[in-house]
Structure 1
Amino acid sequence: MKLIYSLLSLILIANSSLAQTSENYNEDKSEVKSEEVTKPTIIALSPHIVEMLFDVGAGKQIIGTTTFADYPEQAKKIPIIGSYVRLQIERVIELQPDLIIAWKSGNPSDDLARLEQLGFNIVYSQPHTFADVASEVRLFGEISGHAKQGEKVAAKFEQDIEEITKTYKNKSEITGFYEQWSRPLTTVAKNSWPQQFLNICQVKNPFEQVLTPYPQVNIEQLLPAEIQVIIQPLSENQKQLEGFNWQDWSIIPAVKNKQIIQPDADKMHRMTLRSVSALKDLCVEVDQTREILQQKHS
């Protein structure tokens, strides 16, 4: 009889353990499931927003984007639901994103207004400076459920910018022309995104004080400035990779001395963490021009 009671006790204990294990497994599973549920699905309406979401670890949550969102490589697989000209409202309604992150000045305002009227949750992106990029990375980390990663990469970005700034702050200025676009010839001024690159690399921009951030200019305006270096960013996405034909203007010192820098336009012009790499590369190339000019005058 004692043997039977002992066997029954063992069976009850075993069943209790299995039940507890099953309960713990279900709890763990539900926790994982709950975590996944809290990570929102996102429509990201610009290449720079897509890139920053991947940087914070939220790339897999993006269910729709716009044309030219091609970095990182995985971004090319995201369904295209519009461009800077027009958004496919019906497709957005079909996808039912938890969150839409829009580029305030780069998306059609009427389409965004309609999406707001339909009740979609829209967060706006509008970075103007490196500091703004860090702030938005943190924000995107928080709203996508990746706050820790957002803070980590933003802090690293800020540190890198600070180190580059310190490296070049005592360098002598050289006069440069930044070619934002070739047809019509367009440059940059204060309040433009590229101006901060010029400031940190110690490139004097003769058009910096123009009120328009991206003023159109002509060659005659450049000649008195004695331009020592020309910065001509080019992109693979441009229909015409050729920029302005500077070779016709050997009267310009930068052309005469073959000091034309051609950085990657995507890295330069997209307001993302990759811009720190573009900044570093530009400052190195400008410094090489500075050394060449110093040797010529020594």
Structure 2
Amino acid sequence: MPRSLPRALSALPLGLLLTLTACGGDSTDVDTAAPESSASGAFPVTVSGADGELTLQERPETIVSMSATATEMLFAIGAGDQVEAVDDTSNYPDEAPTTELSAFTPNAEAIAEYAPDLVVLSDDLNGIVDALDALSVPTLLLPAATTVEDTYEQLETLGDATGHAEEAGEVVADVQDRIAAAVESVGGEAEGMRVYHELDPSFYSAASSTFIGSIYTMFGLENIADSAPDAAGGYPQLSAEYVVGQAPDLIVLADTICCEQSAETVAQRPAFDTVPAVREGRILEASDDVASRWGPRIADFAESVAGVLQG
């Protein structure tokens, strides 16, 4: 099972796995201008990932990112000029040097052809970490976040690893401030309201134990996936009857790109016209990418949630 996705996702269809990592050509209007580099941080530096400690003797100048989220982080902290290549799911920002390197069937030799002095991954698929180690390619494995704090820690780790510690700190502070402001803007109005997060039209959802679920918890929302029979894995498959019966006050669609779902298609589903979220127009048509990655754009997502809750 990939270490960047919860164990429960091993049962999900491949199409949904693609949705959860990078299924779209999203063009969310976000300020991606990287802060000016201060070349902060002294080398050598030692950083830690899920694959252990990594010591970098010099600032890496040829980075390969095999993670769509890591790509977003690297560009956000000002390390974009050091990124030589990214995997085929890294579609943001536009200037990311997307290649045919497969995120799901990574090939060590193909990655090594770029002569990277750092490879950042979110999964150890096909034993890619050991394969790159055998080729003496430095790797940093940063798995999928389960909490917002994981996002901040990974940004700081990448800042240290790339010589952009100061910029990474600024990005973290900005994301924290924006999320706090989004939550504060709603106040206690959302306390106790129910949310349904849709990953695909077959009603896979995300419980509070997941990264995206933790965002809803900040707003005081009750996640209907938490009481599902198999919610322990974090990503239960619900049913139309269950969702309607739970009467969510907010529906978040994270399948707008992959599966062309919208407020209109939801309203056309049998019995969904009785759901408070449908009746009262509280349906967030989110970008699949923004709603599935744990990079800096989580602030955009939190602000979108706040906007819908505010009406």
* Shorter-chain TM-score above 0.5: yes
Q: Which residue of 1 aligns with 2:177?
A: 159
Runs (5+) with no aligned partner, structure 1: 1-34, 289-298
Counterpart for residue 85 of structure 2: 64
Q: Deviations over 1:220-246 (max 9, x none)?
A: 22233222222112454x2x3236644
Partner in structure 1 of residue 310 of structure 2: 287
Of structures 1 and 2, the one scoring higher in RCO (CA 8 A, sep 6+) is 2
> Percent identity over the alignment?
19
> Is 1:81 the equivalent of 2:120?
no
Matched residue type, 1:103? S
Which residue matches 1:168? 186
Q: Aligned-pair distance for 1:204?
A: 1.6
Q: 2:208–2:216: 8 Å Cα contact kept in structure 1?
A: no
Contact 1:263/1:282 (8 A) holds in 2:
no
Is residue 290 of structure 2 the alignment partner of residue 267 of structure 1? yes
Work out the number of aligned pairs and report it.
246
TM-score by length of 2: 0.72
In structure 1, what is the Cα distance between the partners aligned to 2:157 and 2:276? 45
Matched residues in 2 for 1:48 and 1:176: separation?
25
Instruction: Give the C-alpha shift of residue 169 in structure 1.
Output: 4.6
| Partner SS, residue 85 of structure 2 | strand
The 2-side partners of 1:258 and 1:159 are apart by 28
Report the Cα offset of residue 179 of structure 1.
0.8
In structure 2, stretches of 5+ residues that fail to align are 1-42, 44-57
Give the secondary structure class of the aligned counterpart of 2:141. Answer: strand
Distance 2:122 2:156 in 1: 16
| 1:116 correspondence with 2:137 | no
> Which structure's CA Rg is the greater one?
1
CA–CA separation in structure 2 for the residues paired with 1:261 and 1:101: 32
Which has the larger helix fraction? 1
Q: Quote how far apart the aligned CAs of 1:83 are.
A: 2.2
Q: Are residue 220 (structure 1) and residue 237 (structure 2) matched?
A: no
Distance 2:181 2:119 in 1: 34
Q: CA deviation at 1:108?
A: 1.4
Query: Residues 112 and 38 of structure 1: is their aligned pair in 2 closer, same or farther, counting only changes over 3 Å?
Result: closer
Residue 142 of structure 1 corresponds to 160
Aligned residues of 2:193 and 2:249 also touching (Cα < 8 A): yes
- TM-score (normalizing by structure 1): 0.75
Matching of residue 186 in structure 1 with residue 209 in structure 2: no
CA-CA distance at 1:64 after TM superposition: 2.1
Q: What's the secondary structure of 1:227's corresponding residue?
A: coil
